[in-house]
Chain A
Amino acid sequence: MPQPVIRASNLVKKYKDFAAVGGIDFEIAPGESFGFLGPNGAGKSTTMRMIGAVSTRTGGELEILGLDPDKYGPEVRSQLGVVPQQDNLDVDLRVRDNLIVYGRYFGLPTRTIAPRADELLGFAQLSDRAKARVEDLSGGMKRRLTIARALINDPKILLLDEPTTGLDPQARHILWDRLFRLKEQGTTLVLTTHYMDEAEQLCDRLVVVDKGSIMAEGSPADLIRRFSSREVLEVRFGGGRNEEVASQLGGIGDRHEVLPDRILVYSQDGEAELSRIHQLGLKPITSLVRRSSLEDVFLRLTGRSLIE
């Protein structure tokens, strides 16, 4: 691995006695697209704020582009682009002015910012909205504007905290497409998400986090290989019978998980397992065979679903 651009070891953030981040280690390589996948309250945003050099860590080591963010906050921040979980665009200013004003914070002269702002509005597919009021933008447009704003200083690292939460599928796909382009251009992306499909789409490598700790680390495919089977058979028996039926499924699949509404059977061949269930005389109301996903990895690691 080339020299990492971000390096954390035993990174801790405590609020009073509560450890929101409880000693995590990770390294991110230049140009890499790295994700934190975890449920609500896992400590993703807290970690992002520390990486973003706006939150002082309680313990451990952290290096961003070779610098300690607690000592060199402005130096670090001048090289980052930040898309926070909550948009903090200035709703009192028009769309384009948001970019202009933000560029000034990096000491850029207006003659440099103006053409870059226009270019970024194009990139964010907002050129025709340049003079619109921020309030009049849709959620997806605001998100794209926030990303455009984060790019105004041509950052080496782009931090994205839940970039697509709350957006409809179409808006998410537009956004993913933009992030892909950045990735292709070599921008280091660090993102958090609790959507497994987002993590699978965008991340070269990710860590699964829960309750302030890292449960596993690897590429999406690698994690699925290590912590799940190739396929998953989902069967529903309805009416609270899942628990009862599950006890009769010994020997079927590599293992199974009982959820309140369905049973997941992990296997190399889902269809084969389904016919074996039928042979036992059991009749599921519905059945579905699918490939394993990061959701299954998360369930395996924590015993809980990603989205509660």
Chain B
Amino acid sequence: MSAVHEGRSTPDVATAKARRWGSWYVAEHRLRSMRAYAQTILATSIGNPVVYLFALGVGLATLVPTGVGDATYLQFVAPALLATAAVTVATEEFTYPVLMGFKWNPIFFGMNAAPISGTQIANGLALSVLARILVTCVIYFLFMLAFGAVPSPIGWLAILAATLTGTAIGLAIMAYTCTVEEDKGQMAVIMRFIVTPLFLFSGTFFPLTQLPLYLQWIGWISPLWHGTELGRLLTYGYEEPIWLTVIHVVYPLALAVFGLVAAQRIITRRLDK
């Protein structure tokens, strides 16, 4: 039987390439789709930092003339806004587009009918969103520089910290979104009851220690708090014990890996009907 089909190299090459590069092909596809709303992406990437840095870093800052610790209020709040921007983009990209891919624009089934696996779909989505977050963060950071919010020479590393934060929360959300069969407003719930509280209680506008003890746990489980603190450490040399810095890196990383692996499995299972 198999002898008949031997010596055909093309399918083997195609399969080998798909096995190796499949995740990239998926990312390529997603980025191409993002081109359709590239103008919106660009407009928000530029508009957001201008509005927020000005309103909070300059406006609100007049109420906090002494700053926070050694930093001005602008310096204090800017890394938090940067990380928040990353989280916003990640939430946007890992909710509706993922839901759509299974339901209203079921492209995941199309990819899977070609040699692409569920794992590769998860990886490809992750890669494409990572790219978008990175672009958003770079633009944001340039505005932070322009506003004079980054005294430290290694401040640019905050771009990576914010990207990591957004990716971690985003991948966890993706794992959840992949389990949603019917849209009953779960995405709005995620925004309202997870993302918004994280934004408010992650030491964004004031240090976490200002919160009553019984609310501080939100900061501790919030990757946004870890990412923000890491950003502060990098942009203006905020001081903290080294073990805490390690946690700021390891915790979001662990969450990202967990979210990705869960999403890989859930997508794979869901495609196999």
Contacts and interface: CB of A to CB of B under 8 A. Distances in A.
Is the pairing of A and B real? Answer: yes
Given A65-B5, A90-B105, A92-B33, A105 B11 contact: no
Q: Rank and list the top 10 A-B pairs by shortest CB-CB distance, nearest first.
A: A107-B17, A105-B114, A74-B115, A88-B110, A82-B113, A78-B14, A92-B33, A66-B2, A88-B106, A104-B25
A149 B11 CA distance: 17
Contacts of A63: 1
A107 B110 contact: no
Contacts of A91: 105
B11 A75 contact: yes
A90 B107 contact: yes
Contacts, number: 100
Given A55-B273, A90-B105, A106-B18, A66 B1 contact: yes
Interface in B254-273: 271-273
30 contacts: A54-B112, A54-B272, A55-B272, A63-B1, A66-B2, A66-B4, A73-B115, A74-B15, A74-B116, A75-B12, A77-B115, A78-B15, A78-B115, A79-B11, A84-B110, A86-B106, A88-B109, A88-B110, A90-B33, A91-B105, A93-B36, A102-B110, A105-B111, A105-B116, A106-B14, A106-B17, A106-B18, A106-B115, A107-B14, A107-B17
Given A106-B18, A107-B16, 19 more contacts: A52-B113, A54-B273, A55-B272, A63-B1, A66-B1, A66-B5, A74-B15, A75-B115, A82-B113, A88-B109, A89-B110, A90-B107, A92-B36, A97-B32, A105-B18, A105-B111, A105-B115, A107-B21, A107-B115
B29 interface: yes
B63 interface: no
Interface of B: 1-2, 4-5, 11-19, 21-22, 25, 28-29, 32-33, 36, 105-107, 109-117, 271-273
A55 B269 CA distance: 10
B2 A88 contact: no
B105 A101 contact: no
A90 B33 CA distance: 9
A3 B114 CA distance: 25
Nearest to A7: B1
B266 to A, nearest CB: 16
- Chain A interface helix/strand/loop/mixed: loop
A92 B30 CA distance: 10
A53 to B, nearest CB: 9
A56 interface: yes
A77 B33 CA distance: 24
Contact of A107 (B4, B13, B117): B13
B32 A93 contact: yes
Nearest to A100: B32
Contacts of B107: 88, 90
B272 to A, nearest CB: 5
A52 B12 CA distance: 17
B213 to A, nearest CB: 47
Interface residues of A, number: 35
Nearest to A83: B113
A84 B33 CA distance: 22
A55 B118 CA distance: 12
Nearest to A133: B36
A288 B93 CA distance: 61
Nearest to A155: B11
Contacts of A49: 273
B182 to A, nearest CB: 17
A97 B33 CA distance: 10
A89 B104 CA distance: 11
Interface in A24-59: 49, 52, 54-56
Contacts of A216: none
